Each structure stands twice: as structure tokens, then as C-alpha cells.
Chain A
Amino acid sequence: VGFGIKNFAIIYYCIALSKGHACLGKLTARERILLLLDPDSFDEYDMFVEHRCTDFGMDSSKNKYPGDSVVTGRGRINGRLAYVFSQNTVGLYYLLAIIDNDFTVFGGSLSGAHAQKICKIMDQAAMVGAPVIGLNDSGGARIQEGVESLAGYADIFLRNVLCSGVVPQISLIMGPCAGGAVYSPALTDFTFMVKDTSYLFITGPDVVKSVTNEDVTQEQLGGAKTHTAVSGVAHRAFENDIDALLNLREFFNYLPLSNRDPAPVCECHDPSDRLVPELDTIVPAESTKAYDMLDIIHSIVDEREFFEIMPTYARNIVVGFARMNGRTVGIVGNQPKVASGCLDINSSVKGARFVRFCDAFNIPLITFVDVPGFLPGTAQEYGGIIRHGAKLLFAFAEATVPKITVITRKAYGGAYDVMSSKHLRGDANYAWPTAEVAVMGAKGAVQIIFRGKEADAEEEYVDKFANPFPAAMRGFVDDIIQPSTTRMRICHDLDVLAGKSQSSPWKKHANIPL
């Protein structure tokens, strides 16, 4: 039997290739694993598992095939262990085509057996301490199985939750993903999508039409653009399957295997004491003028390499992974180029989720602050900016990983406190000479203090507070540093802080304002 199955797998693979799935622009489940993992490193599990459904003629031998509709196993990415499952609509069509030329059933749909396979690798990943990567491409629940399929989903959800904060979980959406299937990616740490070929929605366009009478295409409803720019459900989108898988390999290198491991350190060819002279002039003289926080980030991190998370959503805050002297760090920065870098609902939530991921997985946090405050207005207040802004505050305050903060320009009001300030257990808090730590901008402050009667007051306020000295005199910033030395200072601090150990009072878990 074993021999037969092996041959079968090869036939399936060859036919899938030769049939040419160019029309769909998608790869098969196995091809995806082949590209994602190191060559010859994939060990497959449960290749013989079959579904157990007997209704609607599903028990007939022509409706059964070994492995069911998902490929699971473990392998290596750049030598490091990862557990992978790969669902596939395309591969299965071809698989069935070989068996009886029936293209119509299954389509990667989730059966009890399918769920069981996924749960098995998730349990092992949590036990061993290695990330789980899901390549999602599934038509949803297998309707023939009924409640068995729903139970399968719930089993996966439970494991997603139990694994959360234990091992990194990454979902790469590579096809349609509807109904219950969307909640597993939503529970994982990162959700990436493939442009034009992947969709995520609770209900498809037909149901939307019948319920709300809205006309909407799949792409508009749940395409990569919608989720990376509008809803914030997905963290990044890639051009096609190959681009996505190769980027995932690169991304994987930033992550520790589990919460038991420190942030990985790669070989680094960028000197840790490199000076960055252009930073001395990067902040414009006028405090109203914008500059690009990404310029600062790129010039400080190793080899200008920055893996940005959610680059097209809530662009007034920049978050992502980089390395400093080879060690993975999480970077959070206000982006003065977009909405003056203010904090609003979306940017607070985006920042908070990223900070909590870094804290859970021992990744040091580096925060670049240029924030004029929280965004005012009814839209924000009605939307609950108080509740959502509190998430970012909560996340920074509870984080016990090394926290380094650099105030490049404005640090006004409550937003100053939120952005990894000294008061929230910041380990190293620096200010550039251009920093202004104050309750608000000089103009507004003078209007309140003097009701606009004092003409010279604005200048007085600028002299007093539009500089980093009041904060430095009170020890709220540890030092005022030359911007060109920022990289050097951060690298030195990270070396020292690698031994940091800090704990919070015992609790079952904290109650973040969701």
C-alpha cells in the first residue's frame, strides 16, 4: 500500500503541474510547502488519514482519498523548525480529477479529519515550542459533515487561543477563506494575504446582497486591499503565491521559535557603532513641517532592512521588525508625514497589538516619538478613542521586554505618557536636541494660561518647554543625545538589557480594555 500511495502522490504532483493551473494563478498545497520550507526538510504527518463521513454517499470509495483536504507536517525555514499546514482548493480539484473526474466536491473544505490533522501539529508545536504556519485556502465547512465540521473549527480555535503567546502563529491567506474559516487567521499573530487571489469574509457577496442589498465584489468585500488598508484584518499583502512564500521565509527569521526563546540574533555586517550623520539634520527647523519617520528607521537599523507590519493601514504609526547588531527588535514610530503622527483609534490598536506580540515573544521594543497628541473630534470620541487609546497605553505599560525610547520632536500631552515613556517602565529614554516634551504646543498652552492676553507669553512658553531640558532635569529622559549617535547608543543599551528581568504582580491575566 505504501508504495502505491507514494506513486500516487507523484502522479498527483505531476498532473497538477502539467494540467497548468495558470488560469487560477495559484500553486498546489504541496508546491507551496516546497517553496516555504528548506529543500528536503518537510516531514509529512497523517498522509493516510481519511474522512469519516457516511452521509450523502460520502462513504463510497470514490469520495475518499488519503490525507483528506489538507497537508500537514513539520519542516525547516533557514534551518529553524516550523510546523505547517497547507489547505488547498486547487490541488484537490486535480486530486479528484485523477480519481473520478469529479471537480465539484470538497475544494479544501474542512472535515473533522482535516481539523484533527491541524490540531495534531498545533499540539505538537506548542509542546515542542515552534511556530505554526497556516497556508489557508479553504472553501469553508464541509457541509456534508454538518456539526462534525463545526466541531473541527472549534477545536482549531481553542488551540489558536492556547498557543497564543506560546508560539508565534502566522496565517497566509492564499485563496478564498469564508465563514468560520476566517476566525482561525484572526486569532493568529499575523495574517498575510496574496493580492487578487485571496479573500477573507464572514459572508460572501451573494449573502450580502440578499441581506443588506449591497452590491459588492469579492475583491471589494474581502480582498487584500480591503483588509490591509481599510479593515486592518490583514497585516500585509504580497503580489502572488511565490512572492508571499519567499517573504514569509524572510519574515520567519525575525521571530523567536517560542516564548521560551530569546529574540534571534543573526550574523550582522553593519557596525554597531556606526554613526548616522544625516540624522543630525533630518528633523526640520519648523515644528510644523513633516519628515518621514521611515528615513530615520532605515538609517538606524542593520543594513536598512525593515519588515514593516501593516504598512498601508493607520499610516500615522509605523510598526515592524528590524535588527540591531543582528538582534531582532520591534520598532514603533509615530509618522509625522501622515496626520502629523497623531494617535487615533486605528493607530492605537495597530500599535498595541504589535507591542503585545513583541512583549510576548521577548522582542525588545524601540519607540521613536514625534506625537502631537490624540486626534480630537466627535468621530474619534464616538468611536471610543478613550477605550482604544488605552490599549496602547496598557500594552506599553505591561511590557517587560527591554524598552528604548527616542523622542525625536514632539511629545505632547497624554500621548507623551503613552509612547513608552520613562513612567511606563522605559529602560532607556532619550531625547534629541529637537525634542519638545510639554503638555501641548506653545500656542494652545498660552491661550489657556493667559487667555490670549499676553503677547510675549508664547515665546516664554517655547523657551521653557519646547526643548528637552525640563524633562531631562527631572530624569524623565535619561540623556539628550546627538542624533547621529542614536544607533550606537541603542546597540549598547540592547547588549546591556539582554539580561533584563522584570516581573509584574501575579494575576490570572490582565484585563486589557478590549
Chain B
Amino acid sequence: MAYCNRSKRLNSLFLLQWETLCPRWCLITSHKLYSSVYDPNEKTFEKILIANRGEIACRVIKTCKKMGIKTVAIHSDVDANAVHVKMADESVCVGPAPTSKSYLNMDAIMEVIRKTRAQAVHPGYGFLSENKEFAKRLASEGVTFIGPDTHAIQAMGDKIESKLLAKNAKVNTIPGFDGVVKDADEAVTIAREIGYPVMIKASAGGGGKGMRIAWDDEETREGFRFSSQEAASSFGDDRLLIEKFIDNPRHIEIQVLADKHGNALWLNERECSIQRRNQKVVEEAPSTFLDPETRRAMGEQAVALAKAVKYSSAGTVEFLVDSSKNFYFLEMNTRLQVEHPVTECITGLDLVQEMIRVAKGYPLRHKQADIPINGWAVECRVYAEDPYKSFGLPSIGKLSQYQEPLHLPSVRVDSGIQQGSDISIYYDPMISKLITYGSNRAEALIRMEEALDNYVIRGVAHNISLLREVIIHPRFVQGDISTKFLPEVYPDGFKGHKLTDLERRELLATAASLYMAEQLRSQRFLGTPRIPIAKSKRSSWELSVRLGDGIYPVAVSKDGSSFSRISRNASGETSIQFLGTVYKLQILTKVAAELSKYMPEKAAEDTSSILRSPMPGTVVAVSVKPGDMVSEGQEICVIEAMKMQNSMIAAKTGKVKAVHCKAGDTVGEGDLLVELE
């Protein structure tokens, strides 16, 4: 395939600006997409401690600053230079990196509260946000917990109890077994009673952890084992329950806000159906699927449940909605949700401010009729993970370059990191939440596309390519989504953007132009050299570009969207991020390309006989020893990363030659685990 590209861009490329290298110092510069009123005369807390880290700690501190409240940050020793620590008025180290010794270390946190005389604690999400023990200890010392009271946390934190409560409050619930499952055999019996498919989940769980779907007896047994292990390590509680699994469902949740005076509001829904491994990836508000009647029915049931548990503060009632708009109660999260910004965008409320007001004892300022749906908001969770491995396996490293697309209109970025930050194995690999807003869905989505293209993240793998593909996929654009969206659309896993012929030409032209701009630039020396420089008089060049398996001849001549170059080296190997996906190209002159065929082929490593860790993490269990025979597909070891357990299986049948890891080891991505003969 030969064609000629007359690049119109080339001249402008001679002046390539290194925007991505420009200095930027942003701690408190996110665009605000809520318009809450802060009444300086309304008395509030003087000092709040934020028992969290990362973006949510920063998010809470921002509102505190606006309300004139002093803030105390806690941090582990590796987080000493974190953004949330810098933003807060005071900060105290509460222990070493592992969360159980720092952010979950109640004794240390209580000590900090006493020392700093904080009057209230905002727990954010995760960590101690739904820990009734923590809320109790705060109450006993007269410190306000910014969240619901202990009773509501306990009632809703237990999936079995919450289901009973929901039933009594006349909230639609999913058929299932209302009790704790004792062992794998009982799990199978119950599963058969309910009828497959079933969902096994941790009683104390949330966020998709300790959750498995089983389609037959064997999967039930396996799921029971994994879920109980995960539940034990994540929540210290291995009780499990089983319920009917609703096929092809949407995950739609209602934000509720209640005060201590018996008032409760529903702040519309959030559509969170785009998930991978039961964790949300893309969220939006409102949902394309709900009509006003369904929305009101869901809202009223959510409020009824909140009132039934005497709920106060912000909370979320999660529903599964089937294709005929039947909805079933899933669980209630008694905390601020990760995806709360989309609700803030369309309602104009600052949920953190409302939580603080409610905690201080003020009644709600709004009536149900005051809650609008203004425009449309979309949120993408930008993770440090490799989307080409089961839609995202964690990646760690240092953010060597980082620039948020805040120069674009109607973009909000909630993040807790900055250029130079480390993404470590100890905490959630989320880089930021990218939120765009528009007067309608199409506008919000176009802005999201632009924002994703302008997001500069270097140093760690990230999921921008996946996010971009999701939001431009015709099914997503039409609103035809379910929680199975990703596995249905990408049955063989996510492979990056598929280039059309036109796009491929644009990419090749861009790459070739960049290459030539670089080549021409390297001939420009300043000053007057002793021996004059012999400048090339050529005005056209013949190149050969290798992209994937194809080799494309490209001609660049001097008279001659959304891309940014990631890296290059002297051998012409270039990475270009184009339409969200990073493409690897090799650009050579025609002569060099012709001579390349004489270069020796480097033997590739035989990967079927070795098992490497696909991600950084901790080895939980190794089930083989040298000399064992393993069959293809058999589990070899289990690796836990970011609190997810992943089973590593043999790629072929063979005898184990050597085992290079043991339970408890910390392994990096690509580390050799087991060799087969």
C-alpha cells in the first residue's frame, strides 16, 4: 500500500511546543461545577479532621476552606508529601504505609483528634467511613462523625439486615437467601434453591470486593472460597450471603440527603452501569434509561428507606434495574460516594457542605421540589492500570509528567496527586475523577472526549484509552448499556482503538511529520560553527513506518487533532497517543527500512513455560512445588493486588521446574513466579 501524504501540518510542526513540559502548580485550581451558597454567618465547626487520603481528602478540604473551617490531614509515612497533606492546615502521621497500620489505625487517629482538638471527622469513602466502631469511639469522646449515626451504619452495613429493613420499608428487593452461608456445600444447596445464576457476596462488603458470580455448582464452590478470603482480608469478616443474580441489569443509584430532624430528599439518580469486575468505571447523571415516573418511584423508596433507619447525612441507595424498568434494592452506602460529583453538577449542591451542615445539626435548606436536573454530567475514573489486561490491572510508578485538562470548559478534575507523585501498591490506583458537564448528554460526552485527549499522564500505565473507547462507543452513546457492557463489547478483552483507514492515514502522517520535524531540528545548531554546517537541500523524504504488523511507505514533503507524542528514541521507535490509545510505531528512512530485513531476529522468550506476575502485588498462596505436575488451566498461585485476589493459572500442562515466590512475598509487574519444564 503506497500513498502520498502531503502534510499540511509540517510547517507548524517545526515550531513544536513542549507544552507537556511546562511547569504547573495546581493544588486548588479545579473548576467548580456546583454553585452552593456558603453563608459566613452560619456557625459551623472550627476544625475538622479528614480521616482519609487522596482525592477525597482533597475534595473535603476544598469545601472546608470555603466554609472557613480549619482542616487536619492524617497520613501514612509514605504520604508525607501527598497533596492532601499540603492542602490541609495541619497534618499528622498516623503510621507506616499499610492501611491497617495507618488509615485504619483507630487508636492513632483518636490520638490525633485529641491532640489537634478537631471537633468533627469527615471519613471520606472507604477506610473508616462505614465503620460503626469508629463512629462509636468518636461519639464517646464528643467528636462529631460527619455521616449517619452508628445505628444506620450498622443496619445498612450488614447486607442481611439491610435487606430485611428494606423489605419492611416496602422497598423492592431481590429474591435470595436471607442468612449467613456456613460452607461451600451449603452455598451450593442454597444456590440450587434460588436457581442459577447466583451472586455470592461478603456480608460486610462493598465496592465489588468479595463478590463473585456463579453459574454452576463448581463456580459456586470456587466463588465461596475466593469471596470468603477476600472478605476476610478486606473487611476482617468472612460472612457471605447468596442471592439471585439479575441478568443484564443496570446499576442505577439514588443519592439521598437527610437531616437529624426527620427530613429527607432524593437528589436524582446516577447511572453506574459501566463496570469492570463489579467496580464502576464511567458514571453519569441523570440516566438515559429512567422516565420521570420510575425516577420518582425509586427516589421515594430510597427516601422511605432512609427515614426507616432514621438516616442523616448524605447516602446512596443502589438499585439494579432490569430491562423492563423493574428495580430491586441492592444496598445502601452510608457515606459520600466516589461518583458524587455528577450529582453535584446537575443539582448545584455541594454534598460535602450539606454533610457538614447536617452533622452540625442544621435542617436541610431545600425542599424536594427545589431539586433540579440541570444539564448532564459524566464522570470517568482515571486509574493507574493497564486496560489491556482484563480491563485494568494495577500499575505502579512515578507520575513523571502529569497535566489535568483544566484549561477546557466545563471540566472538573478531583485528584489527590501531582507531577512527581508515586502510585504505590499500598493504596487504590485511582489517579483522578474526570468530570465533564454539558447542557445535554451529547455536549457532556464531546467535552469528555476532548478532556481525555488533553489529559497528560506519563510514568504509569493508565486507562484513558479504555475510557475514551467506552464514551464514543455507539451502544454507550445510544444509552444501550448494562453492567455487562465491557465483557459484551470486548469479549476477547480490550485491545485499544481500532483504526479506520482514514484514521490510520492520519496517524501515519502525524508520526512521519513529527519524525521529520525532529530530524530537521537536529540539524539546527545555534552560533556560527568553525566548519560550516552542510544543510540538507532536500524538500521531500521517503520514509517507512511500521505500525503493528504493517509496514507503510510514507512520503513527507515540505510544502505541505488529537495526538501527543509519548516517547521516541534514536532507532525511530515512537509512541503516539492517538484517539486515546497509545500506538507504537517505528519510523525509518526508506534505506534503513530496506536494510532492516538483514538484521537478525531476536529470539522471543517462550512464555508458555514461565509464569510472570501480571501486576505488582503480594503473593497470598502458592499451590505448587518443584516437581509437581500441573495441567493447563490449573491454579498455580494467588496474587493479591489493591485488595483484589487474582488466580494465576498454568498456560500449559507440564512439570514445575522452579518456584520463585512464596506466600507473603511482594512481587513487581513482570517478576518471574514459576517456571515449568
- B21 contacts A303, C-beta separation under 8 Å: yes
21 A-B pairs whose Cβ atoms sit less than 8 Å apart in the complex: A25-B600, A38-B536, A39-B536, A79-B523, A79-B535, A80-B529, A239-B571, A239-B602, A246-B572, A247-B569, A247-B570, A261-B529, A264-B525, A266-B521, A270-B18, A270-B21, A271-B23, A274-B21, A281-B420, A282-B420, A326-B526
A37 CB to closest chain B CB (Å) equals 11
Which of A22, A41, A281 sits near B534, CB closer than 8 Å? A41
- Complex CA gap A497/B23 in Å reads 25
List chain A residues, Cβ under 8 A from B81. 280-281
Name B residues whose Cβ lies closer than 8 Å to a Cβ of A. 16-18, 21-25, 77, 80-81, 398-400, 418-421, 521-527, 529-531, 533-536, 538, 569-572, 588, 591-592, 595-600, 602
**CB closest chain-A residue, reference B522:** A78
Name A residues whose Cβ lies closer than 8 Å to a Cβ of B. 20-22, 24-27, 31, 34-35, 38-39, 41, 76, 78-81, 128-130, 196-197, 239-243, 246-247, 249-251, 253, 257, 260-262, 264-267, 269-271, 274-282, 285, 295, 298-299, 303-304, 326
**CB closest chain-B residue, reference A26:** B598
- Complex CA gap A218/B523 in Å reads 39
List chain A residues, Cβ under 8 A from B399. 278
- A275 contacts B600, C-beta separation under 8 Å: no
Known A78-B522, A79-B523, A278-B418; judge A241-B599 contact (CB<8 A). yes
List chain B residues, Cβ under 8 A from A276. 23
- B531 contacts A196, C-beta separation under 8 Å: no
**CB closest chain-A residue, reference B597:** A22
- Complex CA gap A269/B600 in Å reads 37
List chain A residues, Cβ under 8 A from B25. 275, 277
For A239, A278, A304, the residue with the greatest tally of chain B CB atoms inside 10 Å of its CB is A278
Which of B419, B533, B588 sits near A79, CB closer than 8 Å? B533
Which of A196, A271, A280, A298 sits near B400, CB closer than 8 Å? A298
4 smallest CB-CB distances across A and B, nearest first, come from: A278-B420, A25-B600, A79-B533, A250-B570
Known A246-B571, A326-B526; judge A274-B598 contact (CB<8 A). no
- Complex CA gap A265/B421 in Å reads 33
Q: A25-B598, A246-B592, A247-B571 are known contacts; what are 9 more A-B pairs with Cβ within 8 Å?
A: A21-B598, A35-B591, A197-B600, A239-B599, A241-B598, A257-B531, A281-B81, A303-B18, A304-B21
Known A246-B592, A269-B16, A278-B418; judge A240-B599 contact (CB<8 A). yes
- Complex CA gap A243/B530 in Å reads 30
- B600 contacts A267, C-beta separation under 8 Å: no
B227 CB to closest chain A CB (Å) equals 37
- Complex CA gap A39/B534 in Å reads 11
- A266 contacts B16, C-beta separation under 8 Å: no
A91 CB to closest chain B CB (Å) equals 12
**CB closest chain-A residue, reference B603:** A196
A255 CB to closest chain B CB (Å) equals 12
Known A197-B600, A281-B420; judge A274-B531 contact (CB<8 A). no
- A80 contacts B598, C-beta separation under 8 Å: no
List chain A residues, Cβ under 8 A from B526. 265-267, 326
B82 CB to closest chain A CB (Å) equals 9
- Complex CA gap A20/B533 in Å reads 36
- A27 contacts B598, C-beta separation under 8 Å: yes
- Complex CA gap A298/B22 in Å reads 14
List chain A residues, Cβ under 8 A from B529. 80, 257, 261, 264
- Complex CA gap A39/B542 in Å reads 12
- A267 contacts B524, C-beta separation under 8 Å: yes
Known A27-B595, A247-B570, A303-B21; judge A128-B531 contact (CB<8 A). yes
- Complex CA gap A299/B20 in Å reads 12
Which of B571, B572, B598 sits near A20, CB closer than 8 Å? B598
List chain B residues, Cβ under 8 A from A80. 525, 529, 531, 533
**CB closest chain-B residue, reference A327:** B526
List chain A residues, Cβ under 8 A from B16. 269
For B16, B81, B533, B570, the residue with the greatest tally of chain A CB atoms inside 10 Å of its CB is B570
List chain B residues, Cβ under 8 A from A266. 521-522, 524-526
**CB closest chain-A residue, reference B600:** A25
Which of A81, A262, A265, A277 sits near B418, CB closer than 8 Å? A277
- Complex CA gap A38/B534 in Å reads 10
- Complex CA gap A274/B25 in Å reads 12
- A25 contacts B599, C-beta separation under 8 Å: yes
List chain A residues, Cβ under 8 A from B400. 295, 298-299, 304
List chain B residues, Cβ under 8 A from A270. 18, 21
- B527 contacts A262, C-beta separation under 8 Å: yes
- A242 contacts B523, C-beta separation under 8 Å: no
- A34 contacts B398, C-beta separation under 8 Å: no
For A79, A128, A274, the residue with the greatest tally of chain B CB atoms inside 10 Å of its CB is A79
- Complex CA gap A514/B410 in Å reads 66
List chain B residues, Cβ under 8 A from A35. 591-592, 595
List chain B residues, Cβ under 8 A from A264. 525, 529
Which of B398, B527, B571 sits near A242, CB closer than 8 Å? B571
List chain B residues, Cβ under 8 A from A257. 529-531
- Complex CA gap A246/B538 in Å reads 19
List chain A residues, Cβ under 8 A from B525. 79-80, 264-267
- Complex CA gap A352/B243 in Å reads 71
